[in-house]
Every structure is written in C-alpha cells, then in structure tokens.
Structure 1
Amino acid sequence: MVSSPSMENIESAPSHLEKTISIYPADNLSPPRQILFVGTLCTAMFTNQIGLGNTLTTVSLIGASYNISSPGQLSWLIAGYSLTVGTFILVGGRLGDEFGHKRLFVIGMMWYALWSLVAGLAVFSSHVLFVFARVLQGMGPALTLPNGLALLGGSYAPGPRKNMAVAWFGGAAPFGAIAGFLFGGLFAMVWWPWIYWSQAIALAGVAAFAAWTIPKPLVQGRKEEKRTLGNLFKALDVPGGITGVTALVLFNFAWNQAVVVTWKQPYVYVCLILGILFAIAFFLIEIYWAEFPLLPLSAFNSDIAFVFACTATGWACFGIWVFYIGQVALDISHTTPIQMAAWYLPVIPVGLISALAVGKLFGRIPASWIMVVGQVAYTTGSILAALRPAESIYWTYFFFSVLIITVGMDTSFPAATIIFSNAVARKYQGMGASVVMTIVNYSISLGLGFAGTLETNINKGGTTEEDRLDGYRGGLWLSVGLAGLGLVLSLIFVGKEQLQKRQKA
C-alpha cells in the first residue's frame, strides 16, 4: 500500500527535509511506490481514451440497433461524450482544488462506471437514453483527468521526474485507444451492450484500487479558510462556472446539432449566438469579478497562448481523422471492428515513444520546436488519410497515416501540459491541468461538428457509397486544413522567437 510520510516523521525531520517532504511527497516515495502511484493516475487518461475508442469502431453497429444511419445522429454518439468531458473539466479541476484531488478522482471513476452501466442498459430503451448516458459518461473523465494531472503536478518538484510522470500520463492515451478499439470490437461480436457493462465493471475496480493506492495529499484545498456559503461561492467561482459551461454547451450543441437538422432551423442559430454571448460574459467575470477565476488568465503569456492554439487545431484534426478514416474503412471498405483494432496497433509503440521523448527533451529543445514537429505530423498524417483510395491495402496510406499522426497527438499533449503545469501555482494544479484537457476534448467534439456539417453538405444525402465517400473525404480534408493552420501558427511563433533572440543579441 502506498502511504504518505507520517506527520510524526515530518515533525522530527530536519527543517530542510521537512520542507521537501511537505511540498513534494512523491519525490520521497520508493521507486516501486512511485510506479504504483503514477500508474494508478494514468488510468484516468487510459479510461478516457477507452470511452472514445470503444464507440468509434462500433458506432455504425450501435446505430443500426436503433435504426439510425444519419451521419449527424451517429456523430452525437461520439461527440456527446467528448463535449461533456471538455465542458466540465474546468469545473472538475476546481472542485478538486477545493475538496481534494484524490476524493474527486475516485468519485469520477465511480460516476463513469455508473453511466457506463446505463449506456449498456439503453439497449432496452432508445437511442435517446444511450446518447444521454454517453453525455453523462463524459463527466467521469471530466473529474478524473484534471485531478489525476493535479496529483502528478503537485506531488513532484519541477524537473525530470515530473516531466516523465506527465509524459507517462500522456503515453497512456494510445494504450487506452487501442484497448477501446479491441474490446469494443470483441464485445460487439457477442452483444454490443457488453462493451459498456464490461467497462463499468473495470471502472468500479479502478475506483476501489485508486482509493487504496493514492496517498492522502498533504495539502487539501484551502482549509485554512472558514467554509461559509459565501466563501465557497467565491472559491468555486459559481458565476464563472455557470456562464462558462453554458457557453461551451450551447456553442458545441449548435455545431453538432446542425449536422442533424441543418442550419435552416432557427434554434441552431439562437444557440450559437447565445453561446457567444455567454462566452463574453464568462471572460468579463474572469477578468473583472472572480476572486478565484476558473481560467487563470494571469498565468497566460504568448508561449502558453501559442501552445494552446496549436493544441486546439491539432486535436480537432485528430478527432476528425480518427472518426473519418475509420468510417471509410468500415463503411466503404467493409473492414470489421476487430481488423480496425489491429490496424491501429502501431499507435501504442509510436505514441509511447513520442510521449516519453518529449519528457526527456523538454527543457533541452524549445517548446515551439516540439509543437512544430507535432503540427507537421498532424498535417502529413491527415493528408495521407484524405488521399487514401478506399480499396488500398493497409500497408500503404493507412499504416503510415497512423504512424505519423500519432507523433502529433503524443507530442502536443505532454508539451502543453508540462508548460502550463510549471506556469501556475502548486495549489492550482487542478486548474492548470483542466485548461489543457478542456482544449483537447472540446476540440475533438467541436471538430467533429465542423466536419459533420461539411460532410452533410457534400454527400448528397449519402444514398450511395460514392456519395458517402465524398462526404468522408470532405471531413478528412477539413482535418488537413486545421492541421495546416496549426503548422502556420507554430512556424510564426518560431520566427517570432528567432527575431526576439536577434534583437537581444
């Protein structure tokens, strides 16, 4: 069992040791205990990606059981999950800052397990319940992701150990994605509800294991303050949370619902406009009113803004790529879900190597160059996917597209997380981690909304395979455009850095 240093030992330790132990407890754990600690927290990223992967390759099969074939309705089975993850991560991180990251991590796993169970039971109801369960599933990772990262960021001193811990966290993503593809396909061969029932069983086990293995943090929120209702209202930034969540939900709902009902429906425009207005209100609250803002704008600088912009375009590209390259293979080439899982296997070694390389190289190579590498990978991989002939064999376009785009995914996330984690105060690690994960997951969901709108305007109703393929390719070319935009932004920033160095010289 992993345990934190006892208070008696801390009190009897020399002053310099007391300071080290009280501030960065994980640095004092033995290597086996550190492995167990980091591994447990990495399940947050692992299970988040399972929730995405187990539905990506089986979405058509699940839709068929509900007599659904519309691209817009099918995209909601995936986008609804990512929407909730991206929307509530900021709130999840703040709750962890106030009530304890370990507590929220365990609660998040339990919540995720509950709604995974309901998603499977939705087979006896309708697709409305299934989508509802998928949306509420996303609130589980919205709690586990920022609080898992906050536990990592607050338990290690800035330096190689912390960088590698965060890199391992990011490196868990490809393992989770492949596990989702594999077990989603396997259970779909029996009965698709078992995809989610098995997930619920595993998540309940993880929750119990995490409660046992994660040491009790030595710093638990702002306990020195009297917890009156007014203090809690300010500490949680309730007005900012309400306006921010409302803005994210309305804006994303407008883009994804437009795929289903088109932009001809007035309520779609109303939701979009209201989303923008609520976003403006959110930023005004964060800048001028909030005493403890959800979004730490004071910690932002040009470096962080650049990293976030590249992360948003890159992960939107990735979300579109992984959905539409799969749709071409499943719907047009008639590949089975199990074959798709095998086709994505290179994600594991390439993703792990990329994430760990960033952990080693960060500090030696400027973050701007790391992000350039990621954007080049996103652009190249998505171009290969868009150009791929539907009848081509695996070992050509698809294989190399998977290899290359994985580098982009697993370099951008660790770099962005490490930069922001080092930029904010230790007691707000949950907040910093929340911003990164919000951008990642919200970009995936919003990108699918953009691509779905483009697809439905190209595929002429999708009545033939040729028309559907045209729609899928339209989505893939949008991913190329987003990646290209990120590449341009990253190159501009590199040029800016070089100009500043010359001026100083």
Structure 2
Amino acid sequence: MSTTREFLFVAVISLAHFMTQAGLGQALAPLDIIGRTFKTQNMGQESWFVAGYSLTAGTFILVSGRLGDIIGHKRMFCFGFAWFGVWSAFAGFAAYTGQQVFFDICRAMQGVGPAIVMPNGLALFGRAYPPGIKKNIVFSIFGAVAPAGFVTGAVFGSLFAQLVWWPWAFWSFAITCWALTVLALLAIPRELSEKPVNPPGFDWSGSAVGVIGLLLVNIAWNNAPMYGWGSPTVYFLLIIGLLCLVGFVWIEKRAVSPILPISAMNGTVCFVLICVGVGWGAFGVWVFYTFRFLETVRHLSPLTVAAQYGPAPICGLLASGLTGFMLTHTPVSFTMFMSMCAFCLGIIIAAFQPMQQIYWAQMFVSIVIMPFGMDMSFPAASVLLSNHMPPEHQGLAQSLVSTVVNYSISISLGIAGTVEVNVAKPGPGVDMTDLNFLFKGYQSGYYTAVGLSAMGVICGALFFFRTFSKEGWKVMDH
C-alpha cells in the first residue's frame, strides 16, 4: 500500500471502533430527554436504551467474525457499516411512533452493526500486518479512538437533544455510517477482499444455540431490576439461557467446524478474556452511573456532562502511546495487569465522591484515569489473540475480544441495576425523587463496579505472575 492508501485503510478501520463507542454515547447522554419522548422515566426501562445496544453488539460478534472468515472480511466490514446506518436511521424514526419497545428494538438491531464491523475490521488489521511493532501500533490506534468516539457521540447526542431534536443525532449518525461504507470500499486493498482459499465451515446449530443462550441470559439480568428475580419470566429466561449455553459447549466439542473451538480456550486465553470482561463491565457501569449521577444529583445538562468528559480523548491518545511502548518493552501480561489497576483506581475515585463537589477534585481525576484501562486492555488482548491464531481465523480471534467487551458491558449493567433496586428500595412513603435516595442507589451501582474492577486486578495479577513464572520477563519480538 502507498502511504496515502495505508493512512485511509488504518483510518477507516479505526473509525469502526470510534463509531461503536459513539453509538453508545449518543443515547446515554440525553437518556432522560429520549425517555420523555416515550413517556418513561423508569431507570430499568431507560437502561435498555444502552443495554440493548451492547447486548447485540456482544452477542452477534462471534457469528459475524466467522462469516468474515468464510466470505471475506472486507465484504462483511462494508455490509456492517451499511447495516449500522440503516438501523440508526430507524432509531431516529422511532420518535414518531412514541413506542419505547420499537426504539429498544431499533437500538438492539443498531448494535448488530458494531458486531459486524469490529471483528472484521480487526481481522483486516491482523491479515494486513505480521506480528511486530507496526501491528502493535495499528492495534493501539484502534483502541485509542474509543474515548474520542464516546465523547463525540455524547456531545452530538446532547447538542441535538437540547437544541434541535434528538432523532437528528441518529439520522446524522446514519449518514456518517453510509459515507464510511463508501470509503471502506475504496480504501481497503483488493487483496484483503479475496475469499480464503480453504474457508472453514459454518456451525449453524452451535451458532443458533449460542446466540439464543447469550440473549436470554442477558435479557434476564437486565429485566431483573424491573420485575425482580422472583418473577417467573426472569428466572425461566435465565434457566433456559444457561441450558442453551451448556448445549452450546456440548455442540462445539463435537462440531466439525466449531464457531468457538473449545480447544483454543487454554489458560492464557481464559485469563485474558476474564480480565477484559470484568474490566470493561466495570467501565460500562461506571460510565452509566456517572452520567446519571451528574445529570440527576448535580443537575448538570447532558451537554455539560459530555463536556466534562473532554479530557478522555486526550488521555486516550496518551494511553495509546504508552500501550504501544509497553507492548514492545514489557510482557503483554504486565500491560493487561496495569490496565486492570487503572480501571479499579478510576472507579474507586468516582465511587467515593460526595453529592456536591467541585469537578476537579475527583470526577476529573477519574475521567483522566479510565481511558488508560480501556486503551491498554483492548490492544493487549487483541495483539495476544491475533498472534496466537492463524490468518484464516483472525475474525474468530478478534471476535472473542469484542464479544467479551460489549457483552460484559450489557450484563454488568443488569447486575448493577439489581444491586441498586435492592439497596435503594422504593416503597410506601419513599420519595423516589429525593436526592439522597437517588444518591444511595447510584453509589450502590458504583460499588458494584468497584467489585468487578477489583476482580480484574486479582485476575490480572494472577495472569502476570503465572506467565512470569513460566516465561520470565518475555517481551514480544519487534
């Protein structure tokens, strides 16, 4: 590739992660404004505006990554951006229906777009660059744009919601996705659009059972805060979902072309995925409750809150540079451990802030630290799995990372919501608009994130000391 072609190639692939996080922020920032359109202020129902998007973004990644391995990653990548645009437009049109369920469905279908573009974009990187410093750099760039994408989505979502009308955020987002579809067709080299010579088969039964199991378990966890675990609808969905996941493992062990080769799930892979899952799950809870806390307890507008996240993109770039250096000068397990420490420290600082306080005291510090957790964990996990998978399975390698990132955000919101409704219990004589009552609930959500991130620190430490005892201070070749 020429320098210009390579620049456009790296840019359009990295924008897949940028747009994925923007899709999360565009609904989170103006959550209450969107809720008023559908005549709901119920926290359990509003959380689906975010959880529904992350649910499908995490659930369908494994399937789309394998389809990319079969029919070509460039084809799937371009199709994913087109799909992303179509359902973003439908999400905006949902305002005319006034039906929250329709908007939730549109958000869920919108999440399928990231599920397609993320693993196939990373697979294109994996195919285009051999292991080495250049590959580490492009993976770091891919991770670095995440904070900027989230803040951009939150800013434009807030701008349109406060000054014009919130559906315009989704319609402009759709136009951008379609423009990126055209750019991807032009920028991605023809060599990367060729189908694999010996493509793997597709495990239809395993895919169906796995997707159903992941969907049901996630729906159960996110409906539990609204209906309670005593509701038959909730626990039956959970039981059926878990049985489907058990069936998925049984099918995959016997499948000729498994969607997820169980043999590939060795100790190293499991440690990495557990760290990524609890770390990003904690991040999802942190970002959700931070917006709720600042908008509800401190009475800040969505646009003001989005502006307070302004340091995140800058810190993301710094974290990306640090990650690129660490991946070539320290063991990847050490990079993962440090990312878990960053997640935990940033969340602890936010969790123990008082109701009213100057922004610079704790919230600013928390927002500065959190991008280091994001932009160190994602590239580390991506590089590790990419280097351990053959070229024909690059889609599967990146699917694992992206699946865990997005799915853990969704299910962690359900866990935190369950904790919140049991700590801050509504009842007779309880004023649910009282700030002390709301603050108590939000703190319980923060404490859930602290617990998840602390688990990540423990797993990261075990992973580092395990690999250090076996390999010593081993640094990747570059």
Per the normalisation by structure 2, the TM-score is 0.95
Work out the CA distance in 2 between the residues paired with 1:223 and 1:391: 61
Q: Is contact 2:144–2:316 with CA below 8 Å preserved after alignment?
A: yes
SS at match of 1:389: coil
Report the counterpart of residue 19 of structure 2 in structure 1: 47
For residues 361-414 of structure 1, what are the alpha-carbon distances to aligned partners after superposition, in whole Å with 9 as ceiling and x for unaligned?
214211221122111111111111111112111111100001112111110011
Is residue 115 of structure 1 aligned with residue 81 of structure 2?
no
C-alpha separation between the residues in 1 aligned to 2:38 and 2:193? 48
Kindly state the Cα deviation for residue 219 of structure 1 after the two structures are TM-superposed: 6.6
Cα distance between partner residues in 2 of 1:48 and 1:455: 27
Residue matched to 1:80? 52
Q: Distance in 1 between matches of 2:327 and 2:272?
A: 14
- CA contact under 8 A between 1:329 and 1:390: conserved in structure 2? no
Question: 2:383 aligned with 1:418, yes or no?
Answer: yes
Cα deviation, residue 345, structure 1: 1.1
Q: State the Cα RMSD in Å.
A: 1.5
For residue 466 of structure 1, report the CA deviation from its aligned partner: 1.3
Q: 2:299 aligns with which of 309, 330, 334?
A: 334
Q: Which residue in 2 is equivalent to 1:211?
A: 185
- Distance change in 2, residues 1:32/1:219 (3 Å): closer
- How far the C-alpha of 1:306 sits from its partner, in A, is 1.2
Alpha-carbon distance between aligned partners in 2 of 1:193 and 1:494, rounded to the nearest angstrom: 46
Inter-partner Cα distance in structure 2 for 1:265 and 1:352: 46
Give 1:182's aligned residue: 155
**What do the CA deviations read for 1:428-454 (whole angstroms, capped 9, x no partner)?**
101111010000000000100000111
Pick one of 100, 106, 111 that aligns with 2:72. Answer: 100
1:468 equivalenced with 2:442 (yes/no): no
Partner of 1:23: none
1:199-249 deviation per Cα after TM superposition (whole angstroms, max 9, x unaligned)? 111111111111111112357344557xxxxxxxx8111111011101100
Counterpart residue number, 2:396:
431
Deviation at 1:151, TM superposition (A): 0.5
Taking the aligned partners of 1:169 and 1:473, their CA distance within structure 2 comes to 32
2 CA distance for matches of 1:492 and 1:209? 43
Identify the match of residue 481 of structure 1 among 443, 451, 454: 451
Aligned-partner Cα distance in 1 for 2:221–2:130? 41
Does 2:460 match 1:490? Answer: yes
In the aligned structure 1, how far is the partner of 2:391 from the partner of 2:91?
37
Which residue in the other structure is 2:332 paired with?
A: 367
The CA distance in 1 between the partners of 2:64 and 2:358, in whole Å, is 43
Shift of 1:463: 3.9
Distance 2:301 2:59 in 1: 32
For 1:143, the aligned partner's letter is I
Q: Which moved more, 1:398-407 or 1:313-322?
A: 398-407
Do structure 1's residue 250 and structure 2's residue 223 form an aligned pair? no
Change (3 A) 1:119 1:73: same
Tell me which residue corresponds to 1:395.
Answer: 360
Q: Establish whether residue 295 from structure 1 lines up as the match of residue 260 from structure 2.
A: yes
CA distance in 2, matches of 1:49, 1:361: 24
Q: Residue 158 of structure 1: SS of its match in structure 2? A: coil
Alignment map for 1:155-234 (pairs within 5 Å): 155-189=128-162, 190-218=164-192, 220-223=194-197
SS at match of 2:190: coil
Which of these residues, 121, 146, 159, is aligned with residue 148 of structure 1? 121
Q: Is the 8 A contact 1:459 1:471 kept in 2?
A: yes
The aligned residue for residue 475 of structure 2 is none
Q: 1: distance between equivalents of 2:306 and 2:89?
A: 23
The CA distance in 2 between the partners of 1:367 and 1:222, in whole Å, is 30
Conservation of the 8 A alpha-carbon contact between 1:296 and 1:431 = no
Other structure's SS at 1:340 match: helix
Q: Distance in 2 between matches of 1:106 and 1:493?
A: 37
Identity of aligned residues (%): 42
Conserved? CA contact 1:160–1:360, under 8 Å = no
Tell me if the contact between 1:164 and 1:360 (Cα under 8 Å) persists in the aligned partners. no
- Code of the aligned partner of 1:483: S
| Residue type of the alignment partner of 2:449 | S
Q: Secondary structure at the match of 1:424?
A: coil
Q: Is the 8 A contact 1:102 1:217 kept in 2?
A: no
Q: Indicate the structure (1 or 2) with the bigger Cα radius of gyration.
A: 1
2:283 is matched with which residue: 314, 318, 323?
Answer: 318
Q: Pick closer, same or farther for the CA change 1:378–1:69 going to 2, 3 Å.
A: same
CA contact (8 A) 2:124 2:192 kept: no
| Long gaps (5+) in structure 2 | 427-431, 473-478
What residue is the counterpart of 1:16 in the other structure? none
Please report how far the alpha carbon of residue 127 of structure 1 lies from its aligned counterpart in structure 2 after TM superposition.
0.9
- Say if 2:72 and 2:196, in contact at 8 Å, map to a contact too: no
Give the AA of the match of 2:105. Answer: F
CA distance in 1, matches of 2:55, 2:471: 40
Unaligned runs of 5+ in 1: 1-28, 226-233
**Count of residue pairs brought into register by the alignment:** 465
- Structure 1 residue 71: Cα displacement: 1.1
Deviations 1:110-132 (A, max 9, x none): 11111111111111111111101
Distance in 1 (CA, whole Å) between partners of 2:366 and 2:61 is: 30
Tell me which of 264, 270, 276 is aligned to 2:236. Answer: 270
Answer whether contact 1:106 1:211 (CA < 8 A) is retained: yes
SS at 2:194's partner residue?
coil
SS for the counterpart of 1:191 is: coil
